[in-house]
Amino acid sequence: MKLLCVDVGGTSVKHAIIESGTIITEKGNYTPDGSSLEAYIESLGQLADRYIDKVDGVTFSMPGIIDPQSGYFYTGGAYDKIVHEVNLKELLEKRIGKPICVENDAKAAGYAELGYGALKNVKDGIIITLGHAVGGCLVFNREVVHGKHFSAGELSFVNTDYHEPDFPASLGCRCGADSLRERVQEKLGSDEKLSGHEIFALANEGNEKVLEAIHEFAMELCIQLYNLQIIFDPELFALGGGISAQKLLFEQIEDCFAEMKSKMRFFIHKPQVVPCAFGNDANMIGAYHNFQLYYQGRNIIEQRGKIKVIKKVRIKDDPERKGFI
């Protein structure tokens, strides 16, 4: 099956044609129109128009609290002002005219890592994506956990300070990539918005102020990783997002855990932390697998003009692939 896989981020949209799970072609990137819900749907529709005759369906990885079965968005993450309490799946299907599937971006990354990546041989684990904010996906007994209200793993909304129970004190603000940039700006006394690559380039050159900012960022992240270890006791944490490609970050994480252990009376278990396997492609690969799961055993009815095509999606029954393809 060949699908257009679309990963909607906070500022840009990555897309690719994916076939057979991990064969990726025709990758691209563009900025969607977020001025209104109608404009947003139309801009995604125009993207699909470019590939519509090449694919069997379109599958989306998107920010927000999402019911992947119905396609209802309770929140829209970075697009919450225009995507809020709306069935975006139905609207996209109407505009695009192909079978559609939607899933939360961090949970999509979870499907990819669970199937073929860092969690391939792990029973219970947590995927954390460090983007503008922080995404999370809980894996229990080799299945992605959505929760009663589809908010399981929404780590951005974990509060870190009872003095300020609002988003500025949330895990998303404190441990997202934007927070690292702000810490670096404060240390350097500059308003320059450095990219993640520029920040780590300075750090690798030995800039002490930047190294200090990264260490503080890593320590705050490690405190929350330790808390999650105590609550859920996973075998493994897999970190994704752009800055997770930096070896220095993982070195700092190990240093912070050692520092915590030396200071804490009860240090129960050190979290095992590794990078995600698929990097920036994880959400698109996971969106592909989510489409397969959603349509498993169902008839896909595609209505385009006067042509109706009915296809049957069949997936091999593999006991080692419970919860994903």
Residue closest to 21 by CA, chosen among 112, 154, 113, 105: 112
How many CB atoms neighbour CB 114 within 10 A? Answer: 26
User: Residue 12's domain is classified under what CATH number?
Assistant: 3.30.420.40
> Do 169 and 212 belong together in one domain?
yes
Q: What is the mean pLDDT of residues 92-98?
A: 95
pLDDT level of residue 78 (50, 70, 90 thresholds):
confident
> Do 253 and 129 belong together in one domain?
yes
> Do 167 and 265 belong together in one domain?
yes
> Do 270 and 292 belong together in one domain?
no
Q: What is the mean pLDDT of residues 211-238?
A: 97
> Do 94 and 205 belong together in one domain?
no
Q: 110 lies in a domain? A: no
Query: Which residue is listed with tokens 């997936």?
Result: 315
Following DSSP, what letter does each residue of 60-117 receive, concatenated? EEESS-EETTTTEES--GGGTTTSSSEEHHHHHHHHH-S-EEEEEHHHHHHHHHHHHS
Q: 316 lies in a domain? A: yes
Torsion sign over Cα 22, 61, 315, 126: positive
Q: 111 lies in a domain? A: no
Q: Is residue 240 within 8 Å of 128, Cβ to Cβ?
A: yes
pLDDT for the residue numbered 298 = 63
- Write out pLDDT tens, residues 24-36: 888 999 888 999 9
> Do 74 and 214 belong together in one domain?
no
- Write out pLDDT tens, residues 101-152: 999 999 999 999 998 899 999 999 999 999 888 999 999 999 999 999 999 9
Q: 308 lies in a domain? A: yes
User: What integer best gives the mean pLDDT of the chain?
Assistant: 89
Question: Who wins on pLDDT, 181 or 11?
Answer: 181
- Write out pLDDT tens, residues 149-163: 999 999 999 999 888
Residues 6+ apart with CB under 8 A from 305: none
Q: 113 lies in a domain? A: no
Domain encompassing residue 289: 2-105+280-321
> Do 146 and 100 belong together in one domain?
no
Residues 6+ apart with CB under 8 A from 12: 29, 30, 31, 32
> Do 139 and 262 belong together in one domain?
yes
